[in-house]
């Protein structure tokens, strides 16, 4: 049997590879001078170490969530039972019903979703234009303006809260409103200031989005734009038709970041959106809301236990982050793709 016949036989269905038992492994290891054993032990040790590291990281992330879930399905009696640790003796979903009542959950969920969606769309749209401009065009004081973008990332927003409050409490444009109406506008307790900041790239984490999008567009070959210009496309049509479709992954990533940060934000929400009853502020006030609930239903001298307050707070946090987990599961492919692309092109 020549080599071609051997190859045809070994690739056919009739061929059965010889069984590699422990004796054959020892023989091959002896023939290799112990190299086979060292290689297998090294690969097994690497797989074991990688598995332990991944398990540890997953445990660190999931363990607090599992503890909160275990706490949320316990009855109040289980909270004071020293024999109950993680598995409840009396499984109940009444905590979710009470927490939903305290949070006014579904109306608050809708308001939070619409606000996060509007802010995410405005921030991504404005930051995409600015990031593309920084990546592709030359204009006066470009380095200075990009330094300002870096300052948006480095300077914490708490440092400008008082200025923002005073500015939107007496909002005026070159004195026009004072001249026409006799007084400046008061824009506090409305979504208008936050939407204005999102449109002008001054919202939460906008500097980071500009930087990410700029880095992505810098990695796109300039030949694509030049070919579009040769075909008669203008700058805007080139951006819209050629560059923007390639940036779907990084735009998805920035939108997810913006949506999640707005969903969980309490800084600007407490400053501008106090009357909207969003989930980020409602969850924080569960202990106070629970006390009012007890006094209205069980008398003014009734107070909930601290254990019950912590239990409902854990339940509210689970209900608060569940939509974000669902969103990530839906969009994880685009999110991971954008992170890998931005990492390569930076």
222-231 pLDDT, tens digit each: 888 888 888 8
Q: How confident is the model at residue 88 (pLDDT cuts 50, 70, 90)?
A: confident
Q: Class of 95-342 per CATH?
A: mainly alpha
Query: What's the per-residue H, E or C state across the chain?
Result: CCHHHHHHHHCCCCCCCCCCCHHHHHHHHHHCCCHHHHHHHHHHHHHHHHHHHHHHHHHHHHHHHHHHHHHHCECHHHHCCCCCCCCCCCECCHHHHHHHHHHCHHHHHHHHHHHHHHHHHHHHHHHHHHHHHHHHCCCCCHHHHHHHHHHHHHCCHHHHHHHHHHHHHCECCCCHHHHHHCCCECCCCCCHHHHHHHHCCCCCCHHHHHHHHHHHHHCCCHHHHHHHHHCCCCHHHHHHHHHHHHCHHHHHHHHHHHHHHHHHCCHHHHHHCCCCCCHHHHHHCHHHHHHHHHHHHHCCCCCCCHHHHHHHHHHHHHHHHHHHHHHHHHHHHHHHHHHHHHHHHC
292-332 pLDDT, tens digit each: 888 888 777 778 888 888 888 989 999 999 998 888 888 77
Q: Regarding predicted confidence, which is higher, 35 or 210? A: 210
Q: How confident is the model at residue 345 (pLDDT cuts 50, 70, 90)?
A: very low
* Mean pLDDT, rounded, for 18-46: 68
117-164 pLDDT, tens digit each: 999 999 999 999 999 999 988 888 889 999 988 888 888 888 888 888
Percentage of the chain beyond pLDDT 70 is 85
Q: Regarding predicted confidence, which is higher, 16 or 119? A: 119
Highest averaged pLDDT of the listed ranges 2-6, 11-15, 239-243: 239-243
pLDDT above 80 (res 172): yes
pLDDT for the residue numbered 127: 92
* Model pTM score: 0.77
């Amino acid at each position: 049997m020549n080599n071609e016949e051997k190859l045809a036989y070994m690739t056919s269905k009739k061929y059965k590879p010889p069984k590699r038992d422990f004796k054959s492994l020892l023989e091959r290891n002896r023939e290799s001078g112990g190299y086979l054993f060292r290689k297998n032990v090294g690969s097994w040790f690497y797989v074991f170490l990688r598995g332990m590291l991944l398990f540890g990281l997953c445990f660190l992330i999931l363990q607090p969530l599992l503890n909160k879930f275990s706490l949320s399905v316990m009855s109040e009696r289980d909270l004071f039972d020293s024999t109950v640790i993680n598995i409840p003796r009396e499984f109940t979903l009444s905590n979710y019903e009470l927490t939903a009542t305290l949070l006014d959950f579904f109306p608050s969920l809708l308001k939070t979703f619409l606000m996060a969606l509007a802010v995410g769309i405005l921030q991504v749209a404005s930051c995409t234009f600015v990031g593309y401009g920084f990546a592709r065009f030359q204009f006066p004081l470009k380095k200075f303006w990009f330094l300002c973008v870096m300052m948006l990332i480095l300077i914490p927003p708490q440092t400008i809260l008082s200025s923002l409050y005073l500015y939107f409490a007496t909002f005026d444009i070159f004195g026009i409103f004072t001249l026409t109406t006799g007084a400046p506008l008061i824009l506090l307790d409305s979504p208008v200031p936050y939407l204005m900041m999102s449109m002008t790239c001054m919202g939460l984490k906008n500097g980071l989005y500009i930087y990410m999008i700029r880095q992505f567009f810098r990695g796109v070959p300039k030949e694509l734009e030049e070919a579009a210009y040769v075909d008669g496309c203008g700058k805007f049509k080139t951006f819209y038709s050629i560059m923007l479709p390639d940036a779907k992954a990084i735009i998805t990533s920035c939108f997810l970041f913006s949506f999640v940060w707005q969903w969980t934000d309490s800084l600007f929400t407490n400053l501008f959106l106090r009357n909207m009853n969003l989930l980020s502020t409602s969850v924080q006030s569960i202990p106070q809301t629970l006390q009012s609930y007890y006094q209205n239903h069980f008398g003014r001298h009734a107070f909930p236990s601290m254990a019950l307050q912590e239990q409902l707070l854990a339940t509210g946090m689970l209900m608060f982050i569940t939509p974000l987990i669902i969103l990530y599961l839906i969009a994880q492919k685009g999110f991971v793709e954008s992170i890998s692309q931005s990492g390569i092109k930076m």
